[in-house]
Amino acid sequence: MRFKKISTRMLTILLFVTILSMVLLSGISYKSSKNIIDKQVEENMQAELSSTVNAINLKMQEISSMSSQLALNVGSTYKTTYLSQYEEMIGKAIFKSDLVLGAGIWFEPYVYDASKEYVGPYIHKNDDKALVTYDYSNAEYNYFNYDWYKNAKNNNKETVFSDLYYDETLNTIMSTCATPIYDSNDNFIGVISVDMEIPSIQDLINNFKIGENGKALLINNDGKYITNIDDKKIMETKINEDENKSLSEFGNVLLSNTNGKSEFSIDDTKYESYYTTVEPFGWKLFIQIPMSELNKPINELMSKLIVVGILAIILTTLAIIWQVRYLTKTIKKVNDLASNLSNGDFSINELEVISEDELGQMSNSLNKMLSENKNMIQEISDDANKVNNITENLNKSTESLVENYKVIKDSVKNISESMLNSSATTEEVNASVEEVNSSISLLSQETIKSHDMAKDIKVRAYNIEKMSNDSYNKATSLSEVHETNLKQSIENAKIVENIGAMAKAISDIAEQVNLLSLNASIEAARAGEQGKGFAVVASEIGNLATQTSDTVKEIIETISKVQEAFNKLTNDSMQMLLFIKDTVTPDYKEFVGIANQYDRDANAIEDISIKISEMTNNIEYITHEVGDAIQNIAEASQDTASNSGEIVSSIELVSQLVEEISTIVENETEVSDNLNSMVKKFTL
């Protein structure tokens, strides 16, 4: 990707790296946190499972210990102990645990009593009392055929718990703990059975709570529910045969493994389950908790990471933009300075340096370069201008000198030629002098006439000045009088405006009268026959008011037209007065000035004629002197003609030298022009 601006490049790259870093950091944090939380959750779940299993085992161990202790006592004392004693002992023992419903001693045939095949007292709870029954000690019940008895007899002296079963009579789920009885000779003599109910275990499981929605369930070794929110499923439905396919698949995994974790869904809610086996019963205890709850901390963490990331990106973006703007602003100033310098513009201001970093140092260096180069170019420009001015002046001087030498050369030649002809000319001049003398006599007579005419002009100018002054004063007085009268007329015209105001008032009164006549007509109408005469009067008054109003309107319109005509007349009068003041009066004043000027001119002519008369007398004297001088000139011209030849030779030599100097000046001018053209490329 190509960038036209360094700011875009820096912003894009830095933002990309920042965003990528934040995404990677958030992803790694999310993954690491999820692993840590998952591990912690699993450890907590396993701990909860272990705790619950231990609680169950503790309760079951209590039953097992009771059964084993009873079997041991009976095996060692059955030959010397009465059944009543055993009944009392068991009656006390069954109240030591809330799980126990009852317990019985079941002897092998003819062991306790040689005359009896069935000896089996059963002691059970009845509220807070222990009741003894022998209802099961008979051939009809035949306890020897029950699984709990057979399992205990065949289990190598180990206590055995039967599978859970539902007792409809007691309406509870039960299990039988059976322990074989051996005598001192290690002979099997019977079985101790302890019947237990598991509601307390169910309550333990049902009351289990982890998190907000986490709960535990207990499954027997066949997969049937021991605990469930739906009581209909308890000991009736197998988890691996549940209608929920996801749950049934989980049930197969649960029954196939000793412990672990898995997932399933209920009503579009995903659950994560941790399970274990309650040994030695083969029960399955599992904890289910919504995955949304498990993922809530990590989701909250991710949300916080996203918010922090966005804030970090925004702050980073602002910081980057701030720094990029600072850099680009400084670089733009430097670029503009460099661009202007490249174009030869040294008239720009120096860069403003506000930092001491590399950009500030670069700006200082550029400022120093600008200042030094500007001074150097300025000096070159000044020197070039001085050289150019000197060469131009020298060139002009040489050109002028060449021209002057040419003129001098031509003049000298002309002088030489003129001197040769001056002798003949002097004779002609003498004749001309005589003619001049006669002309001067005539001029003297004419000056006397001019003096008389000047006196006549002076008299006429005085008369014109007096008439113009009179006319000027009359025009000024007339203008002032008419102006005063016009102002008075304008003041009088305001009466017309007052008439308009009075007409407006009359119109308003007419409208009020019209309204009053209307009200009177209404009141007359209400009065009936008695008000008819009054109604006619009110109607007439209304008509009169209407006519008055219309007449007033016409008066107002007429007044408006009168005001317009008067305003036009006033404006025309003002224009006429302005014409008199601005045009006529100044013209009269100018006539007075012209008359004054005529007077001054007449005086001047009179003075000039006197001076001319005096000058003619002087000229007559001078002409005699000129005649003598001409004779001297004739003699000097001969000498001048001989010297002019030498002057012409010297002038030709100097002219050649000046032309050489002119060539040198032209070369210097060319060099100076080249230097100026180079300097002009720079703007200072």
- pLDDT tens digits for 155-190? 888 999 988 888 777 788 889 999 999 999 999 999
From the number of C-beta atoms within 10 Å of its C-beta (0-12, 13-18, 19+), residue 476 rates as: middle
Average pLDDT on 124-142 reads: 93
Our CA dihedral for 473, 476, 478, 479, rounded to 10 degrees, sits at 180
CATH number of the domain residue 597 falls in:
1.10.287.950
The SS3 call for residue 153 is helix
Q: Is there a contact between 426 and 634 (Cβ–Cβ < 8 Å)?
A: yes
Task: Determine the Cα angle at 352 with ends 346 and 358, to 5°.
Answer: 105
* Top-confidence residue, 184 or 618: 184
DSSP 357: S
* Top-confidence residue, 34 or 94: 94
State which of 19-33, 95-109, 385-399, 405-419 shows the largest mean pLDDT.
Answer: 95-109
State which of 33-42, 64-73, 395-404, 459-468 shows the largest mean pLDDT.
Answer: 64-73
Show the tokens assigned to 220: 């027997």
* Top-confidence residue, 234 or 642: 234
Whether residue 469 has pLDDT greater than 80: no
R_g (Cα) of the chain, nearest Å: 73
Average pLDDT on 215-237 reads: 90
Q: How does residue 546 score in pLDDT terms, banded at 50, 70 and 90?
A: confident
* Top-confidence residue, 292 or 332: 292
Pairwise CA distance, residues 539 & 13, whole Å: 97
What was the pLDDT predicted at 113? Answer: 93
Whether residue 378 has pLDDT greater than 80: no
23 within some domain: no
Whether residue 426 has pLDDT greater than 60: no
Q: Last residue of some domain: 294, 327, 361? A: 294
Q: Last residue of some domain: 294, 317, 336? A: 294
Of 152-166, 189-203, 490-504, the range with the lowest mean pLDDT is 490-504
Q: Say yes or no: 412 and 268 in one domain.
A: no
511 within some domain: yes
* Bridge partner residues of 400 (DSSP): none
What was the pLDDT predicted at 190? Answer: 96
**How far, in Å, are 83, 103, 179, 190, 359 from residue 117 at the CA level?**
15, 20, 20, 12, 114
Whether residue 595 has pLDDT greater than 80: no
Pairwise CA distance, residues 51 & 261, whole Å: 17
324 within some domain: no
521 within some domain: yes
CA atoms within 13 A on the CB side of 212: 8
Backbone angles phi, psi at 681, to 5 degrees: -65, -20
- pLDDT tens digits for 300-321? 888 888 888 888 888 888 888 8
421 within some domain: yes
Whether residue 366 has pLDDT greater than 80: no
Pairwise CA distance, residues 97 & 91, whole Å: 12
Backbone angles phi, psi at 300, to 5 degrees: -65, -40
549 within some domain: yes
Q: What is the pTM of this model?
A: 0.47
- pLDDT tens digits for 528-540? 777 667 677 767 7
Range of the domain at 214: 198-294
Q: How does residue 384 score in pLDDT terms, banded at 50, 70 and 90?
A: low
Q: Say yes or no: 423 and 279 in one domain.
A: no
Pairwise CA distance, residues 552 & 541, whole Å: 16
Average pLDDT on 409-433 reads: 64
- Those residues whose C-beta lies under 8 Å from the C-beta of residue 26, and which sit 6 or more positions away, are 302, 305, 306, 309
- pLDDT tens digits for 339-353? 777 777 767 777 777
Q: How does residue 192 score in pLDDT terms, banded at 50, 70 and 90?
A: very high
Pairwise CA distance, residues 19 & 443, whole Å: 116
634 within some domain: yes
Q: How does residue 285 score in pLDDT terms, banded at 50, 70 and 90?
A: very high
> Can you spell out the DSSP letters for 573-610?
HHHHHHHIIIIIHHHHHHHHHHHHHHHHHHHHHHHHHH
Show the tokens assigned to 145: 């055929």
Q: Is there a contact between 103 and 120 (Cβ–Cβ < 8 Å)?
A: no
Pairwise CA distance, residues 134 & 29, whole Å: 70
Q: Could you tell me what percent of the chain has a pLDDT over 70?
A: 73
What was the pLDDT predicted at 493? Answer: 60
Whether residue 41 has pLDDT greater than 60: yes
CATH number of the domain residue 232 falls in:
3.30.450.20
Q: Dihedral sign, CA of 61, 62, 67, 70? A: positive
Q: Where does residue 157 fall: left (phi above 0), alpha (psi -120 to 50 degrees), or beta otherwise?
A: left
- pLDDT tens digits for 649-670? 766 776 676 677 667 767 767 7
Whether residue 429 has pLDDT greater than 80: no
Q: Say yes or no: 290 and 411 in one domain.
A: no
Count of domains forming the chain: 2
504 within some domain: yes
Whether residue 634 has pLDDT greater than 60: no
Show the tokens assigned to 214: 């986490």
Task: Determine the Cα angle at 529 with ends 525 and 535, to 5°.
Answer: 45
